């Protein structure tokens, strides 16, 4: 799937409306469906798989949005084959396009089409008169990451145990891999039951809460306490950064409690992209507590000036 352009596969522009995409798929489906196609059966099946995958993505508003945003490689990291075809009912589509049913049960060369079925995962096409190797099941492994690991990327060793088989795999986690993001390791899933290719292993991230920084999307948040007099008169503070450093931040005079001040580009990086979030420093004004007699007198003088 890495080199596929779903728009080119269906022959539509990236601005195509949903109805235009549907029309293009119907035309190609009628041409390449194994019960209609003439000539090379393998080539027809491969083409039908390809156009069906493209239509499953582009006909779904959310999947299309993700594909447009992240491109083929980024989309592949987020969606398995099962994800792509989820809620994609081939039976309904076949009937809508004029096919009699979702399964063509006649024997090839003997009385109609070949047996044809569309399943979610593995090889979605089966045939009578010949056998098809099916792909092994995909595996999903959830890996915990700190915010700093999300920001910088990290190498991890994953220990897998399935069906009595133990395996350790080194995984390079890219920058920006927030909770729920996935990367695919081809061929590292379950073996095929009948000699086909192994399934894939999907590494899915889960970000561990940080004791100092909060995160919303690519943006980071941190609290910084200052004196209430500093909030009134203004000051320059040192705000902590995720890499363990500090950055100077000017606090304007008259800053109110809970005000958020923005430091651009000090947030988290976008996975597979060039965008970077911001760091927001939430200013907390500390209560002065019990005041001395002199402090009270000075405050009274300030109060008399209208402060």
Task: Report pLDDT digits (tens) over 23-33.
Answer: 999 999 888 87
CB 105 within 8 A of CB 97: no
pLDDT tier for residue 135 given thresholds of 50, 70 and 90: confident
Domain assignments of the chain as residue spans, ordered by start: 1-132, 135-208, 214-304
pLDDT given at position 39: 58
Q: Between 2.60.260.20, 3.20.20.80, 3.50.50.60, 3.40.50.10440, what CATH number should domain 214-304 receive? A: 2.60.260.20
Show Cβ contacts of residue 239 under 8 Å, excluding neighbours closer than 6 positions: 222, 224, 246, 247, 248, 249, 263, 279, 281
Cα separation, 239 vs 275, whole angstroms: 22
CATH architecture classification, 135-208: Sandwich (2.60)
Smallest Cα–Cα separation from 218: which of 281, 153, 147, 276?
A: 276
Question: pLDDT exceeding 70 applies to what percent of the chain?
Answer: 79
Residue 22 CA, chain-centre distance (Å), reads 25
Cα separation, 22 vs 26, whole angstroms: 6
Q: State in words which class domain 1-132 has.
A: mainly alpha
pLDDT given at position 95: 62
At 44-98, the pLDDT tens digits run 778 888 898 999 999 999 889 888 887 887 787 778 777 787 767 666 666 666 6
pLDDT tier for residue 167 given thresholds of 50, 70 and 90: confident
Determine if the pTM surpasses 0.85.
Answer: no
Radius of gyration over every alpha carbon of the chain, rounded to an integer in angstroms: 29
Q: How many angstroms separate the most distant Cα atoms in the chain?
A: 105
Least confident piece of the model among 18-22, 67-71, 174-178, 245-249: 67-71
* Stronger pLDDT, 94 or 288, i.e. the higher one: 288
Is pLDDT above 90 for 111?
no
At 63-73, the pLDDT tens digits run 898 888 878 87
Decide if 135-208 and 214-304 have a common fold: yes
pLDDT tier for residue 43 given thresholds of 50, 70 and 90: confident
């Amino acid at each position: 799937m890495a080199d596929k352009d779903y728009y080119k596969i269906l022959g539509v522009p990236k601005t195509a409306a949903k109805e235009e995409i549907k029309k293009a798929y119907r035309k190609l489906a009628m041409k390449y469906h194994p019960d209609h196609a003439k000539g090379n059966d393998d080539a027809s099946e491969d083409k039908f798989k390809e156009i069906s995958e493209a239509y499953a993505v582009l006909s779904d508003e959310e999947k299309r949005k993700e594909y447009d945003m992240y491109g083929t490689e980024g989309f592949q990291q987020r969606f398995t084959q099962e994800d792509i075809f989820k809620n994609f009912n081939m039976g309904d589509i076949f009937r809508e396009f004029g096919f009699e049913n979702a399964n063509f049960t006649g024997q090839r060369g003997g009385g109609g089409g070949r047996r044809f079925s569309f399943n979610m995962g593995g090889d979605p096409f089966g045939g009578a008169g010949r056998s098809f190797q099916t792909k092994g099941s995909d595996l999903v492994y959830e890996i915990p990451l700190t915010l700093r690991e999300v920001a910088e990327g990290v190498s991890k060793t994953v220990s897998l145990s399935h069906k009595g088989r133990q395996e350790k795999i080194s995984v390079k986690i890219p920058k920006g891999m927030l909770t729920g993001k996935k990367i695919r390791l081809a061929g590292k899933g379950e073996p095929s039951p009948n000699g086909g290719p192994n399934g894939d292993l999907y590494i899915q991230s889960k970000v561990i809460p940080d004791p100092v920084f909060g995160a919303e999307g690519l943006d980071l948040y941190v609290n910084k306490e200052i004196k209430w007099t500093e909030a009134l008169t203004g000051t320059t503070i040192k705000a902590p950064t995720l890499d363990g450093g500090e950055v100077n931040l000017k606090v304007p005079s008259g800053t109110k409690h809970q005000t958020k001040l923005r430091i651009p580009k000090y947030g988290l990086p976008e996975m597979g992209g060039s965008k970077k979030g911001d760091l927001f420093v939430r200013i907390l004004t500390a209560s002065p507590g019990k005041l001395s007699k002199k402090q009270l007198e000075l405050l009274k003088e300030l109060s008399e000036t209208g402060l």
